[in-house]
Structure formats: C-alpha cells, structure tokens
Amino acid sequence: MAKKTVKDIHGELESIVNILNSDVIKALDIKEAKKSLEKKVRQLINEEIELKEVVDNLKTTRDKLSSELNNKETEIKDLQDKIGALKNDRSQLESARLVLSEQIKNLKIEKAQMNKSLEKTNDLLVMLKNEITQFDEEIKS
C-alpha cells in the first residue's frame, strides 16, 4: 500500500469536515423546518379546536332555529285552522242572516196584514159603536 502524504490526509480530513459541516447545516435546516412544522401543527390544532367550537355553536343555533321553525309552523297551522273555523262561522252567520232576513220580511208582511185587519176591526168597532149609539137613541126616543 502506498503511504498517504500529510497533504492527502489533510485533503481527506478537509473533505470529511466539509461533508460534516454540510450535514450540520442540513440538520439545522431540518431542525428549523421541524420547529416551523410543529408551530404550524399547533396552529392547525388550535384552528381545529376553534372550528369545532364554531361547528358546535352552529349546531346549537341550527337546533334552536329548527325548534323555532317548528313552533312557527305549528302557529301557522293553528292560525290556518282558526281562519278555516272563522270562514265556516262566517258562512253559517251568512246563512243565518239570510234566514233571519227572510223571517223579517215575512214578519213585516204579517204585520202589514195585521195592521189592515186591525184597521178593519177598528172600522167595524166604529160602525158597531155608531149602530149602538143609534139603537140607544131609538130606544130613548
């Protein structure tokens, strides 16, 4: 084997030192990249926690709104039922009004007939009174 000179050994050692320096720089870069990634992971974990809270709040809001919607739908149905009942009542009242209107008309006709009959009766009473008066006068004379 050939003997290596100091210069050769020095060159080899310098080459090894350069490789080690390069490896140290890469290791430092990797360490810094790792710290950066760990920081990003922590940020993502915090964002995930915040997003879970937002999702929970949205679920709660959705449930409340759903409940309110159900209540409003029930109110609407109740009001529609009341409107239907009022329309039915109105229809019944209109029918009753027509019947009562017809009864009033008939009662007015009966009243007019009774007034005529009353007038005739009054006329007859006046005639009878006159006849009685005449008869009384005839008896007195």
Q: What is the DSSP letter of 5?
A: P
Give residue 19's pLDDT: 95
Whole-prediction pTM: 0.50
**Span 96-139, pLDDT tens digits:** 999 999 999 999 999 999 999 999 999 999 999 999 999 888 88
Locate all alpha helices (DSSP H) within the chain, ordered by sequence: 6-140
Residue with tokens 């009473």: 125
Round to whole Å and give the CA distance between 87 and 94: 10
Residue 27 contacts by C-beta under 8 Å, 6 or more apart in sequence? none
Give residue 30's pLDDT: 97
Round to whole Å and give the CA distance between 38 and 27: 16
The tokens for 129 are 């009174």
Give residue 138's pLDDT: 87
> Which band of pLDDT confidence, cut at 50, 70 and 90, is reported for residue 4?
confident
Give residue 3's pLDDT: 85
Give residue 1's pLDDT: 58
**Span 14-23, pLDDT tens digits:** 999 999 999 9
